[in-house]
Amino acid sequence: MLESIISYGLAVGAVYALIGITYNVMFTASRVFSFTAGMVGMLGGVLGALFINRLGLPVWVGFPLTLAAGAVIGVITEIITVRPVLKSIEQHLYVLSTLAFALMIQQFTAIEWSTESQPFPRLIDIGPGLLDQQFWLPVLACGAVIVGLELLYRHTLIGHAFLAIAEDNYAARALGLPEQSLRMMSYALAGMIAVLAGFAGGEILLAFFGNGPMLNFYGFVPVALGGMGSNRGAVVGGIALGLFQQAANFLFGGIFASVAVFVVFIIVLLARPEGLAGAVAVRRV
Amino acid sequence: MDATTRPLARARPLAPRWLGRMEALWPFLLLGMAGLCLPLLDDSYLGVIATRACIYWVLVSALNLVVGFAGQIAIGWVALLTLGAYVTSVLTAGTAIPALPPYLALAIAAVSGAIFGVIVGLPALRLRTFYFAMTTLGFATIVTQVALAWRGVTGGGIGVPGPVFPEPFDSRWGFYYFCFGIAAVCTWMTANIAASRFGRALVAIRDAEVAAEAAGISKPSLLMIVFLFSGAVAAVAGGLFASLQTYITPDAFTFDLSVLFFIAILIGGRGSILGPLLGTILLTVLPEFAAPLVAWSTFLYAALLLVIVLAMPGGIAEMLDFRNRRPLEQHREIAPRTDVLPRVLARSGERAALTLQGISLSFGGVRAVDTLDLTIHPGEVHGLIGPNGSGKTTTLNVISGYYAPQSGQVLLGAEALPQRAPQRRAGHRIARTFQTPRLIGGASVLENVMIGGTIAGRGSFVESLLSLPRHRRDEAALNEAAMLALTTVGLEQLASVRADRLQHSELRFMEIARALMLSPTFLLLDEPAAGLSAEEIRRLGALIVAISRQGTGVLLVEHHADLIFDICDRITVLNLGKVLAAGTPAEVRSHREVVNAYLGA
């Protein structure tokens, strides 16, 4: 039992962590929380199953196509739901615009794909037990994304530009950084990370339109608790959440797990609205 | 003396308000008539749709106060519908305890809805918008899961029969009239709240939270009452919903319903009753008459929401707001009437001074204010000047409680004012204006000013809900006081105009009128002359002096040296958070460093 708690917990936790990172990438680029994070994650599973199972494309075509679709949806998110409302960000209209867009994605998927869970293809078959793709693929994807982001932010010019925008938007623009295209690239990157999460976790979560809200919530929990914008918090929190959820699931049943996660989430946020690792913002009158 | 007894220029407040009422009332009367006559068509399918629309509106009418008025993004409100439906059904079906009569079950559902409304709403007090939206979403998911898992009570996936109300509400049209009646009562109650100081305060929390605090509005208690009310009403709607369904399973409460409720409000327009009512009817009825659309309905709602947010944030209500499309007079003049002031600011006897003792406050490594001593005397205008970043606004924010000083204290007479409690300054009758006017753009100028007098009301939320005499007295008194304050600053002609149509200079005077509603003992003005013409500045100066002569102590933060030296009784010059010079205008004017630094003479 312990083995399955850990293997399932790590796998699901890695998916949550990736969705958390998706929130972070969009947030650091624009100070916007987007409801599309989990929805695009859901799409990763659906598109993978569509390209590889239904259309019969080989993995090396289906996977890049899925990533490209994620990037395109990310860019559309930025253009349609974020850019028009950034001018007056203090009105929080992005909550509504991204919610609307996320719902459109979800409904479209439900109608055009299926309202039933569909199987996700087995991509690499190297063995049973822990060698099963569904356990190691999400963890591998999560690790790859963390390493990739680290390399991007630390060692490339465009990564430095991302950090500059995140640190001080006005100053970065004053330096002549193309803020708008950087933001668009961030959203494309976020879209790719989100579909990667859904793709890697496809075998566990299946290709199901209803995964969107679930991923939205469980991907947000680690980010909210770990502090907005902190990828380390997202990964640690996501893995911990996955393990806790699976343990509670096995020991007490699914309902207890959901209620427990929700209660902990509310209590921690009420005690520390900025998250366990976040800093308190000074209020301006 | 004849100045005060002379009849006021215009704007007897009652007549236009009464007319406005009629103008606002007829759509409701029309809808009510249509609703009453509907059974004449004797179309049973239509009856089901109409009943459903009534039930949805019961929920939406109260949720409207949360979403439309207070601006809280509660997207998971279907959870309370589910709760109410299950509590009513389980209690009447007798699966857990012996069966209860349906009315009692509905009442118990309302109580449990009120409790859970507060629990769901609680996070709104601490969390930012997106976080709160997430918590309501999470709650909605959990309620459905519990309904599925708790088989012994809820019947799990098999479900439980809904309540049947006794005669005469057991027939289809009887039940319709029952729901219609409750919907009508809910409309009336929420319209009462909307037109009360509570409704205005909710909108103020949404659009100008800082100004709401300065007016003494307590966000936590107000929001809690609204969540309580909204939860109770949603649960009642749930009970009715279960009865209409005759049999409920967790599948009946999809997230799509939540989306419908939420979007109906936003399509209707925030801060309106009629708009969300039309929105609810539209969203309930439309898919029924366009069968191919049913599968796509939620997609279309979402698309509609996106369009509304991006293109028409005001929703249906703004489309119907013909009054505010009439052009305003182009060349308007602000003519303050200082002769009315004695009726606004009642002179009282001995007044204490406002004293700052050794106030220090740093932001990071920057000392914004450094061991500052300052005394503002009643009946005097005290100017506070200094270069940008010298700590003027910080000082003002310490006095009005937005910042807590790291050392030192603010005394009113001998009493120390509580720190970090801006909403408690109004009770001490300390009023203020802001460097950038904090207005409620969608509300009328009169309503904006009435916000300032919120704490003067005596009636409770329930009294406003039911429009009891004390509520009506409050409203009449607030209305009159606000008209008087507007007359004082010279804006009474614009009382019924939407505030966001005003010019910048008019907003500055509007903020002063709002501050006057507290009949303040101390008035803090943060750069009131910024953006005003020379003539307007002269009138502003006369108004400020007249206010101080009524016994009010005025603290004036300003960059216009002329205005400061013209009207101030005392001046304090700040530099780098410290007092550089202090004294009468003459003393300060001859101070060498001040002359070098600012006056340049």
Distance from the Cα of B205 to chain A's closest Cα (Å) equals 12
Between chain A and chain B, how many beta carbons pairs sit less than 8 Å apart? 107
Specify if A90 maps to a domain.
yes
* Geometric angle at alpha carbon B113, from B112 and B116, rounded to 5°: 85
A263/B contact by beta carbon, under 8 A: no
pLDDT-derived band at B348 (thresholds 50, 70, 90) equals: low
B1, B6, B9, B14: CA torsion to nearest 10: 120
Specify if A285 maps to a domain.
no
Specify if A171 maps to a domain.
yes
Distance from the Cα of B362 to chain A's closest Cα (Å) equals 12
A259/B contact by beta carbon, under 8 A: yes
User: Cβ of A270 and B122 within 8 Å?
Assistant: yes
Going along chain B from its start, the domains and CATH numbers come out as: 23-290 (1.10.3470), 348-439+502-599 (3.40.50.300), 441-501 (no CATH)
Q: Which of B129, B300, B306, B392 to mutate to test the interface with A (most CBs of A within 10 A)?
A: B306
How confident is the model at residue B24, as a pLDDT?
A: 77
Question: Given B73, B126, B138, which is nearest A265 (Cβ)?
Answer: B138
Specify if A280 maps to a domain.
no
A77/B contact by beta carbon, under 8 A: no
How confident is the model at residue B69, as a pLDDT?
A: 95
Q: Residue B273 is encoded by which pair of tokens?
A: 């009753």
Specify if A112 maps to a domain.
yes
pLDDT in tens, A255-270: 888 888 888 888 888 8
Query: What residues in B contact A111, CB-CB < 8 Å?
Result: 295-296, 299
- The three state secondary structure string of B150-211 is CHHHHCCCCCEECCCCCCCCCCHHHHHHHHHHHHHHHHHHHHHHHCCHHHHHHHHHHHCHHH
Distance from the Cα of A78 to chain B's closest Cα (Å) equals 13
How confident is the model at residue A89, as a pLDDT?
A: 76
Query: What residues in A contact B397, CB-CB < 8 Å?
Result: 285
Q: Residue A108 is part of which domain span? A: 2-271
Q: How many domains does chain A have?
A: 1
Distance from the Cα of B423 to chain A's closest Cα (Å) equals 14
The answer to whether residue B39 scores a pLDDT higher than 50 is yes
Q: Residue B150 is encoded by which pair of tokens?
A: 């708790």
Measure the CA–CA gap between A45 and A143, rounded to whole angstroms.
19
User: Cβ of B309 and A266 within 8 Å?
Assistant: no
Question: Given A99, A107, A282, which is nearest B299 (Cβ)?
Answer: A107
CATH of the domain at A257: 1.10.3470
pLDDT in tens, B139-189: 888 898 889 888 888 888 889 999 999 988 988 899 999 999 999 999 999
Looking at this predicted complex, what is its ipTM? 0.90
Residue B152: exposed, middle, or buried by beta-carbon count in 10 A (0-12, 13-18, 19+)? exposed
Neighbours of B378 (CB within 10 A): 18
Specify if A244 maps to a domain.
yes
How confident is the model at residue B9, as a pLDDT?
A: 45
Question: Given B131, B141, B146, which is nearest A269 (Cβ)?
Answer: B131
Measure the CA–CA gap between B55 and B235, rounded to whole angstroms.
11
Mean pLDDT value across chain B: 89
Which position has the higher pLDDT, B597 or A75?
A75
How confident is the model at residue A271, as a pLDDT?
A: 83
A81/B contact by beta carbon, under 8 A: yes
pLDDT in tens, B177-211: 999 999 999 999 999 999 999 999 999 999 998 99
Q: What is the mean pLDDT of residues A107-132?
A: 84
What letter does residue B252 receive in the DSSP assignment?
G
User: Cβ of A217 and B134 within 8 Å?
Assistant: yes
Specify if A282 maps to a domain.
no
How confident is the model at residue A83, as a pLDDT?
A: 92
Which position has the higher pLDDT, A239 or B291?
A239
B224/A contact by beta carbon, under 8 A: no
Specify if A237 maps to a domain.
yes
What letter does residue B299 receive in the DSSP assignment?
H
How confident is the model at residue A123, as a pLDDT?
A: 81
Question: Given A99, A104, A108, which is nearest B75 (Cβ)?
Answer: A99
Which position has the higher pLDDT, A131 or B111?
B111
The answer to whether residue B6 scores a pLDDT higher than 70 is no
Element (H, E) at A95: helix A93-112
